[in-house]
């Protein structure tokens, strides 16, 4: 499990490869600047090398163009997947000064934001996947409160009682360890990223 922290955000991330495979078909990237935090999670279709190639191509785009707006980044991610297998992709950007989240997703990646006042935000993804074909994106903006917690994960994980887990007064690391140690209900690649916004 990886750990990352600044004055604005703390993050734990974990990835598990499908049983029997050497390469994980999921890939992710996050970065914090003075102004924003950006995160991408990509789940390449299928598993193994071709899935990895698609997911990594998406991640490299976000690394290169992280200063652009989320809608433009999603268009770039879609374009890079021409003649590749395709991928489910979620990108979000947190603007610290405005206390605002901008989120866009195509495919089977789940995202939850739990506010310090007890509100659970769950933006609905667009069904399908990115493959280089013309695609409409839904980019959603919403405010967040200080000390909110977010969780994003690929479809290798399944959760019940998610609100109760995020509502916990336990340290973020403890919650992350709890998620990591849960038995997987599928044999798929599995990735989660959990973070607190200060």
pLDDT in the model for residue 191: 96
Average pLDDT over residues 99-123: 93
Q: Provide the number of structural domains found in the chain.
A: 1
Grade residue 109 by pLDDT with cuts at 50, 70 and 90. Answer: very high
Cα-atom radius of gyration of the chain, to the nearest Å? 16
17-21 own/partner pairs: CB under 8 Å, 24+ apart? 17/189, 18/47, 18/156, 18/187, 18/188, 18/189, 19/187, 21/47, 21/48, 21/189
Give percent above pLDDT 90 in the chain: 76
Cα separation, 50 vs 85, whole angstroms: 6
| Domain region containing 109 | 2-197
pLDDT tens-digit map of 186-198: 678 999 999 999 9
Helix (H) or strand (E) holding 111: strand 110-114
Q: Is the pLDDT of residue 185 over 70?
A: no
Closest CA to 2 of 182, 149, 173, 189: 173
Q: Model pTM?
A: 0.95
pLDDT tens-digit map of 139-176: 999 999 999 999 999 988 877 777 778 876 789 999 99
pLDDT tens-digit map of 23-68: 999 999 999 999 999 999 999 998 889 999 999 999 999 999 999 9
CATH number, residue 186: 3.60.40.10
- In contact, 39 and 92? CB cutoff 8 Å: yes
C-alpha count within 13 angstroms, C-beta hemisphere, residue 174: 7
Average pLDDT of the chain, as a whole number: 93
Cα separation, 103 vs 141, whole angstroms: 6
Assigned token pair, 150: 């977010």
């Amino acid at each position: 499990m990886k750990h990352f922290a600044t004055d604005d955000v703390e993050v734990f991330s974990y990835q598990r490869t499908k049983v029997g495979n050497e390469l994980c078909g999921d890939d992710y990237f996050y970065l914090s600047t003075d102004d924003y935090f950006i995160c991408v999670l990509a789940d390449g279709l299928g598993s193994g090398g071709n899935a990895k190639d698609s997911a990594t191509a998406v991640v490299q785009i976000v690394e290169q163009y992280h200063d652009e707006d989320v809608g433009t980044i999603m268009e770039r991610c879609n374009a890079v997947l021409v003649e590749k297998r395709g991928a489910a992709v979620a990108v979000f950007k947190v603007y610290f000064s405005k206390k605002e989240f901008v989120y866009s997703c195509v495919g089977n990646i789940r995202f939850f934001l739990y506010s310090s006042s007890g509100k659970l935000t769950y933006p609905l993804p667009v069904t399908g996947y990115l493959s280089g074909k013309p695609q409409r994106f839904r980019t959603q903006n919403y405010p967040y409160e200080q000390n909110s917690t977010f969780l994003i994960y690929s479809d290798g994980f399944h959760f019940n009682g998610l609100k109760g887990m995020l509502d916990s007064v336990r340290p973020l690391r403890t919650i992350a360890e709890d998620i990591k140690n849960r038995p997987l209900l599928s044999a798929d690649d599995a990735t989660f990223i959990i973070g607190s916004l200060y």
